[in-house]
């Protein structure tokens, strides 16, 4: 009993300390994000004067008038291609990172990621079916969104029928089973139309489009999921000390876990719908945030949202410039970053164990 009380007290102290550090850490993260957004707008295969970009952006502010000197073609490039692409990258990165942090809080496992409960496999299957059978590109985001939500719901339903409702271990096993089954079905469908494999793999490797319509398509879901996740930071801190302790403090652990999973899955589905399957973001970013700012989810969640946006903007910048005028799939870029990160993480874990 004494250990439980001590754990709750320690969690409360950690949360209070994190709350004091949060404004400064968030301000620093937002400053980094602003720099990343500017870099994303200024750097590209097509040369646009940096001074003209800055003046054009200032000219769009209220009560500010500035002559950028940009030609109409350059303005179109800036506002119809680069700006929506940078915004899309920031939204996708933020959603994947905050969803990953939410999953890690629910499962109390820093290796949990947004695709743990079958979102990736569900989206992959429905997107493959759309490409192979329907062949309507405009419906691919909707199919991916529906598939991601469907995969998570199937895993959650299976987990609840196979074990105690809300049990994290059962949910993980259900997610593995659902992912394996849906991936097998996807592979079977792919073999029916091998001529469509290039389009399917292009979507699987992930990519960011400069398309305002897709930004507005996921905006409502992105806002709702992010707000719900951020609002549950304190409750995730309470859950981190154990379900019994949380119950003693009046927290319904099962309900909190369900709401956070729903919000994180909605964020994941929204990101997958417009970008394909981009790996490692939901694991790498929360890990880095946790190392730099502490373990309290009142800090980890908002910082993961902002840091994930910065990370994805930079990853997309690399993807579209390193082989310019060709583009590298953004999933390849995040894998190049994520794989060495895990090697370092395993080495650090081994050093602690020994």
Report the CATH number at residue 119: 1.10.3470.10
CA distance 119 to 145: 9
- Predicted local distance difference test score (pLDDT) of residue 14: 52
State how many domains the chain has. Answer: 1
Digitized pLDDT (tens) for each residue of the chain, 354 residues in all: 444 444 444 555 555 555 666 788 889 999 999 999 999 988 877 777 788 888 888 877 887 777 777 788 888 888 888 999 999 999 999 999 999 999 999 998 888 889 988 999 999 999 999 988 877 777 889 999 999 999 999 998 888 886 554 467 888 889 999 999 999 999 998 888 877 888 888 888 888 988 899 999 999 999 999 999 999 999 999 888 877 787 788 888 889 989 999 999 999 999 999 999 998 999 989 988 998 888 899 999 999 999 999 999 999 999 988 887 888 899 999 998 888 877 776 676 555 444
Chain center to CA of 196: 27
CA 143 – CA 208 distance, rounded (Å)? 17
pLDDT in tens, 236-261: 998 888 777 877 888 888 899 899 99
Do the beta carbons of residue 88 and residue 215 sit within 8 Å? Answer: yes
Among candidates 299, 314, 317, 312, which has minimal Cα distance to 23?
A: 299
Q: Which two tokens stand for residue 281?
A: 């973001």
Q: Do 127 and 140 touch, CB atoms closer than 8 A?
A: yes
pLDDT of residue 8: 46
Q: What domain range is 113 assigned to?
A: 2-353
Residue 271 has a pLDDT of 94
**Confidence (pLDDT) at 36:** 94
**Residue 2's pLDDT is what?**
44
């Amino acid at each position: 009993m004494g250990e439980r009380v001590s754990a709750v007290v320690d969690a409360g102290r950690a949360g209070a300390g994190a709350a004091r550090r949060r404004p400064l850490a968030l301000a620093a993260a937002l400053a980094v994000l602003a720099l990343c957004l500017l870099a994303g707008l200024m750097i590209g295969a097509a040369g646009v004067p940096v001074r003209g970009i800055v003046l054009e952006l200032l000219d769009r502010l209220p009560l500010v008038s500035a002559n950028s000197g940009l030609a109409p073609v350059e303005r179109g490039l800036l506002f119809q291609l680069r700006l929506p692409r940078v915004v899309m990258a920031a939204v996708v990165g933020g959603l994947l990172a905050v969803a990953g942090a939410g999953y890690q809080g629910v499962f109390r496992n820093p290796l949990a990621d947004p695709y743990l409960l079958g979102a990736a496999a569900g989206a992959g299957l429905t997107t493959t079916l759309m490409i192979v059978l329907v062949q309507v590109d405009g419906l691919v985001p909707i199919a991916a969104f529906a598939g991601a939500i469907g995969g998570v719901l199937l895993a959650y339903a299976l987990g609840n029928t196979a074990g105690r409702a809300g049990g994290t271990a059962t949910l993980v096993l259900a997610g593995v089973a659902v992912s394996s089954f849906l991936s097998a079905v996807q592979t079977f469908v792919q073999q029916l139309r091998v001529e469509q494999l290039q389009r399917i793999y292009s979507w699987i490797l992930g990519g960011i489009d400069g398309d305002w319509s897709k930004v507005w398509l996921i905006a409502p879901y992105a806002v709702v999921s992010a707000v719900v996740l951020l609002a549950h930071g304190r409750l995730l801190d309470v859950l981190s000390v154990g379900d019994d302790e949380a119950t003693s403090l009046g927290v319904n652990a099962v309900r909190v876990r369900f709401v956070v999973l729903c919000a994180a899955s909605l964020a994941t589905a929204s990101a997958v719908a417009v970008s394909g399957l981009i790996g490692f973001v939901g694991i790498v970013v929360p890990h880095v945030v946790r190392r730099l700012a502490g373990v309290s989810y009142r800090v980890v969640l908002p910082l993961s949202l902002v840091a994930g946006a910065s990370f994805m903007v930079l990853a997309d910048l690399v993807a579209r410039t390193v082989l310019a005028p060709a583009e590298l799939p953004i999933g390849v870029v995040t894998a190049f970053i994520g794989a060495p990160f895990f090697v370092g993480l395993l080495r650090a874990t081994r050093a602690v164990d020994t």
